[in-house]
């Protein structure tokens, strides 16, 4: 698989599953996992995006260590994708509006806690490495994203 194919696979799984697990680590190195609702933006095929509250603990973790990992899986667990990358915090109205169009229907619990759009920001995970698994067949494939590697240098 190449970068384009794996992004299409991630997008397809997210369309079906609607959620993924995000792993961050706090300043003491303790790992924290939480369910999130991410999406792929078609014009940014090297990243995945989600919303978070502006004062959230995960933002404190990310400010201390912006390296994260996502796990995306089909509901039947036939396909699992692990995504490693670095997070940028974005607070631009245009990107918020675009992501709102995609994610609004999936975020009812988020909206109850964060009704004001000024109280949330976007987490952009620039993808560095993706590992795709098919547990039933023992298939495993890794795709390195060269653009993310260049920007980390």
Q: What is the pLDDT of residues 51-105, one digit of tens each?
A: 998 888 999 999 999 999 999 999 999 999 999 999 999 998 888 888 888 887 7
DSSP string for residues in 35-54: EE--B--TT-TTEEEEEEET
Average pLDDT over residues 31-52: 92
For 4, half-sphere exposure in the C-beta direction (CA atoms, 13 angstrom radius) is: 1
What pLDDT is recorded for position 149? 41
C-alpha angle with apex 7: 137 to 95, nearest 5 degrees?
Answer: 150
At residue 152 the predicted structure's pLDDT band, cuts being 50, 70 and 90, is very low
| Chain center to CA of 118 | 21
Average pLDDT over residues 33-50: 92
Is pLDDT of 108 > 70?
A: no
What pLDDT is recorded for position 150? 45
Query: Could you identify the residue written with the tokens 């993706």?
Result: 130
The rounded distance, in Å, linking the Cα atoms of 111 and 141 is: 36
C-alpha angle with apex 73: 67 to 79, nearest 5 degrees?
Answer: 115
Does the global pTM surpass 0.85?
yes
At residue 118 the predicted structure's pLDDT band, cuts being 50, 70 and 90, is low
Identify the three-state secondary structure at position 59: helix
Q: What is the pLDDT of residues 131-144, one digit of tens each?
A: 999 999 999 999 99
Structural domains counted in the chain = 1
Is pLDDT of 112 > 70?
A: no
The answer to whether 38 touches 14, Cβ cutoff 8 Å, is yes
Mean pLDDT of the chain: 88
Residues of the chain above pLDDT 90, percent: 68
31 CB burial (10 A radius; 0-12, 13-18, 19+)? exposed
At residue 151 the predicted structure's pLDDT band, cuts being 50, 70 and 90, is very low
Contacts of 145 (CB under 8 A, 6+ apart): 3, 46, 85, 126, 127, 128, 129, 130
Question: Which CATH number is 96's domain given?
Answer: 2.30.110.10
Give the residue numbers spanning the domain of 41. Answer: 3-152
The bridge status of strand 31-36 relative to strand 20-25 is antiparallel
At residue 110 the predicted structure's pLDDT band, cuts being 50, 70 and 90, is low
């Amino acid at each position: 698989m190449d970068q384009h194919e794996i992004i299409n696979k991630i997008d397809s799984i997210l369309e079906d599953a609607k959620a993924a697990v995000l792993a961050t680590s706090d300043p003491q190195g303790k790992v924290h996992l939480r369910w999130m609702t991410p999406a792929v933006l078609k014009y940014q095929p090297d990243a995945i995006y989600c919303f978070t509250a502006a004062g959230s603990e995960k933002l404190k973790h990310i400010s201390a260590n912006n390296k994260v990992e996502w796990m995306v899986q089909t509901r039947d667990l036939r396909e699992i994708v692990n995504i490693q990358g670095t997070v940028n915090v974005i607070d631009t109205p245009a990107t918020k509006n675009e992501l709102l169009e995609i994610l609004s229907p999936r975020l009812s619990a988020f909206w109850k806690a964060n009704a004001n759009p000024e109280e949330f920001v976007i987490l952009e995970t620039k993808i560095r490495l993706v590992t795709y698994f098919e547990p039933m067949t023992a298939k495993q494939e890794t795709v390195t994203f060269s653009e993310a590697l260049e920007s980390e240098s």
